[in-house]
Amino acid sequence: MKITRRDFLKGSATTLFLAGFNFPVFASTSKKKNLVVIMLRGGMDGLCAVPVIGDKNFEKKRKSILIENTIKLNSDFALHPKLNAFHDCWKENTGTIIHATSIPYTQRSHFEGQNLMESGGRIAYQEKTGWVGRAMKLAKLQGDGLALSLPMPLLLRGVPKNNNYYPADGKLPQKDTLELLKSIYAERSEEELLEMMNYIKKRKKKEMMTGSSGYSSDKRANSNLAKEAAISLANPNGPRVAVFEVNNFDTHAAQGGINGTHTKCLVEMDGIIKNLKTYLKQEYNNTIILTVTEFGRTIKQNGGLGTEHGYGTSIFMAGGLLKKSQVYTDWPGLKKKELFQGRDLNSTIDARSVYASAMSLVFDLDFNLIRDKVFWGENLQNLSDKLFKTS
């Protein structure tokens, strides 16, 4: 039996766990728009990625790890010279940087911070759902999330039937076996397992597995996952949301300059943007790609040529739904008294204002509704007309 995702949503086997949810709008009048979130784990150093120009104080504090030959973006900010794909977006007027921003978390723990960057809340481990998942539920978009990682990130939780892709090494069992297991899960009301089984049955048809020979580690590289995700997102019946993870931004030591570990991580992020743009083709115009991180890093380098956990950082955004290329910031300055606790770049824009504004556009939801239902009515700014094409 051949079923497509849309058919499946209407299928009778799903009624059990559709209880409490409205059916998605199948024939939406507006065109399909995509959101891609790249999670930068470990604390992305906004000042390494997007350094400030001509600040003697900054240069002095980072003598040994300063990036040279940066690309000048405007009179105040430059771009890390290895971010070629993002620079291309910038040149095409589809690259935006939000600077001096952060989620409202200042305690400098990775694990709490990463939990909060995904949940969107203020108290670590309190929320069991993510801000993207909640917004998708609000927009009645179930079965529209795709994670490019082995586990399901918290960020997407809160709406049922998210899929993920991270190719496995081997061949799936026969269709009959899957059917039998599926019927057992249905009988036992194992809803989550049932959801997975529906995707697994489909997976086989789409031949997303690696096959029986060889190792699949290359296929799991983020650049390849970006290609696969872009192809799915570009499909009118495909997912609308994709979530990536880039690890190892936590460079307490040997952060290095142009060839350091922080650069490697940024280049990995850039590779995702590059392949998304390439394989989304026309659909890049209907997409917002944005980054999330738990915190920035200290202005001052430490003795190990690294940086410590900080606060303010930057967000990268790319895609045809952006208003224009710009560094959008309310720059707080880097003098000691201007720093957060005298050591970190301050945050003058709640990162969640950016995310709420982006989702308002992509999910066709009123900003205030997102603010109230996804972010508990917190004091977030509507930045839609400043950052995105609103018509």
Partner 1 sequence: MKNFFRKVAFGIGPNEKIPSDPLNWANSQITDKIPEFSWKGKYILSEKEMRKTYWREYRYKEDYVFRKKYKKDPEGFEKARKQLEKDTGKRFWPNNEICIRHTEAVRSNSPVLAKLWFFWANHFTISDTQMMRWFSNGPYQREFIRANMNQNFEKMAVEATLAWPMIMHLDNKDNVGPKSISAKQEWRRTEKRPATINENHARELMELHTISPKAGYTQKDVIELAKIMTGWTLPWTRKADHSHDVKFDSERHEPGKKYVLGNEYKRGKKSIRLVIKDLVNHPSCREFIATKLCRYLITDNPTKEMITPIIKAWEKSDGYLPEVHKAAIKVAFEYNDKYRKFQNPENWWLQMINMSGATYSYPIPERKMDKFVFGYMMSQEHRYSDWLLEDLGCNPYASKQPNGYSDISTDWMSTELIIRRLLYAKKAFHRFNADDQIDNNLHEKIVLKNFDNADEILKILSKSKSNEEKHIILFNLPEVLKA
Q: What residues make contact with partner 1 under the rule CB under 8 A? A: 41, 63-64, 107-112, 124, 128, 147, 150-152, 157, 162-174, 176-178, 180-181, 184-185, 188, 190, 192-193, 196-197, 199-200, 203, 209, 215, 247, 250, 252-253, 300, 302-306, 308-309, 341
Instruction: Name the residue nearer to partner 1 (CB basis): 9 or 181.
Output: 181
> Residue 124 CA to chain centroid, in angstroms?
19
Q: Write down the least CB distance from residue 353 to partner 1, Å.
A: 26
Closest of 163, 208, 139, 149 to residue 5, by C-alpha: 163
Q: Write down the least CB distance from residue 247 to partner 1, Å.
A: 5
Q: Write down the least CB distance from residue 167 to partner 1, Å.
A: 8
Q: Write down the least CB distance from residue 39 to partner 1, Å.
A: 12
Instruction: Name the residue nearer to partner 1 (CB basis): 18 or 200.
Output: 200
Instruction: Name the residue nearer to partner 1 (CB basis): 16 or 172.
Output: 172
Q: Write down the least CB distance from residue 166 to partner 1, Å.
A: 5
Q: Write down the least CB distance from residue 42 to partner 1, Å.
A: 8
Residues 48 and 73: their CA atoms lie apart, in Å, by 14
Q: Write down the least CB distance from residue 239 to partner 1, Å.
A: 12
Asked if 312 and 339 count as a contact pair (C-beta separation under 8 A), the reply is no
Asked if 192 and 18 count as a contact pair (C-beta separation under 8 A), the reply is no
Helices 222-234 and 261-280 pack at an angle, to 10 degrees, of 30
Asked if 391 and 385 count as a contact pair (C-beta separation under 8 A), the reply is no
Instruction: Name the residue nearer to partner 1 (CB basis): 51 or 153.
Output: 153
Instruction: Name the residue nearer to partner 1 (CB basis): 39 or 79.
Output: 39
Q: Write down the least CB distance from residue 243 to partner 1, Å.
A: 12
Residues 275 and 222: their CA atoms lie apart, in Å, by 9
Instruction: Name the residue nearer to partner 1 (CB basis): 43 or 95.
Output: 43
Amino acid, res. 192: E
Instruction: Name the residue nearer to partner 1 (CB basis): 18 or 209.
Output: 209
Cβ atoms within 10 A of the Cβ of 60, count?
11
Residues 238 and 229: their CA atoms lie apart, in Å, by 9
DSSP sequence for 46-77: HHHHSPBSS-HHHHHHTTTTPPPSPEE-SSSB
Q: What is the torsional sign of CA 272, 278, 279, 282?
A: positive
Q: Report the Cα–Cα distance between both ends of the chain, in Å, rounded.
A: 42
Alpha helices in 215-304 (DSSP H): 222-234, 261-280
Any long-range contacts for 92-95 (C-beta under 8 Å, 24+ apart)? 92/325, 93/322, 93/324, 93/325, 94/284, 94/318, 94/319, 94/320, 94/322, 94/325, 95/316, 95/317, 95/318, 95/322, 95/325
Q: Write down the least CB distance from residue 63 to partner 1, Å.
A: 5
Instruction: Name the residue nearer to partner 1 (CB basis): 79 or 147.
Output: 147
Instruction: Name the residue nearer to partner 1 (CB basis): 30 or 56.
Output: 56
